[in-house]
Amino acid sequence: MSSKSALAQRLAIVAGFEDPNVSLEQYRTPPELAAHLVHTADLQGDIEDRTIVDLGCGTGMLALGAALRGPTQVVGLDIDPAPLATARDNERKVASATEVEWVRGDATQVPLGPDGPTTVIMNPPFGAQSGNEHADRAFLETASEIADVSYSIHNAGSDAFVESFAADNGGEVTHAFRAEFELPHQYDHHTEEQRTVDAEVFRIEWSG
Ligand code: SAH
């Protein structure tokens, strides 16, 4: 297994959204956070020899991180075709051994039924800006249906919501960690040049 920092370095080349769509809450996960999530998952045995599904994959940061760590297959799903084109370019640049299948679809409609042990990794829309609080709920619902383990990034303060959602849906939060990341100045409603987002990452085991 390569180190976490080597993984972050390889992911630094992954381009973000060319023309981000604010209503879809499109922003690229920073390479350091993506590397942290994937490396942690790998140490838990949740990447190698498993199917990895990235729900709301955008330009592919998390899917490509996983593809560098020996999974059986990787699927990246997004509702917007524009970032998927960037994801394909990013895949060529990253040159991972495992190929990624990029699929256009709605992550909230359970579009996939992967075979075998499946891990979902995702940085879904939070719904915090749009007033659509817990837009991430529908993504967790899909994870609960297709995966036996998931890693998801949520905004800070989501722990009570995530824990009770998991408990109500045959899941259990086994790990949680805090993360901070900088949002680039890409949306009009961000007045400062950069904004730091406090986030939380959860590992959930699904038994259903
Ligand atoms: N996972 C990427 C992008 C995170 S931004 C990364 O970590 O860098 C959230 C992504 O979710 C965006 O690409 C957006 O287009 C996508 N998205 C929003 N609603 C969606 C839906 N209903 N189904 C699938 N993808 C969706």
User: What's the whole-number mean pLDDT along residues 17-26?
Assistant: 90
- Look over the chain and give the mean of its residue pLDDT values, rounded to a whole number: 92
| pLDDT greater than 70 at residue 193 | no
| 57, 64, 141: residue to mutate for ligand 1 pocket, most atoms within 8 A of CB | 57
104-153 per-position pLDDT tens digit? 999 999 878 888 999 999 999 987 666 667 789 999 999 999 999 999 99
**Residue 110: predicted pLDDT:** 81
Which residues does a 6 A CB cutoff place in the pocket of ligand 1? 24-29, 56-58, 61-62, 77-80, 83, 106-108, 123, 125
26-72 per-position pLDDT tens digit? 999 999 999 999 999 999 999 999 999 999 999 999 999 999 999 99
Q: Which residues contact 60 (CB under 8 A, 6 or more apart)?
A: 14, 54, 76, 83, 86, 87, 90, 91, 100, 102
Q: What burial class does residue 104 get, using C-beta atoms within 10 Å of its C-beta: 0-12 exposed, 13-18 middle, 19+ buried?
A: exposed
User: What's the whole-number mean pLDDT along residues 93-100?
Assistant: 95
**Residue 130: predicted pLDDT:** 60
What does the DSSP assignment read for 92-127?
Answer: HHHT-SS-EEEEE--GGG------SSEEEEE-----
Q: To which residue do tokens 């509702």 refer?
A: 79
Distance of CA 126 to the CA centre of its chain: 12
Q: What is the pTM of this model?
A: 0.94
**Residue 78: predicted pLDDT:** 97
| pLDDT greater than 80 at residue 189 | no
Q: How far, in Å, from the CA of 117 to the mean position of ligand 1?
A: 23
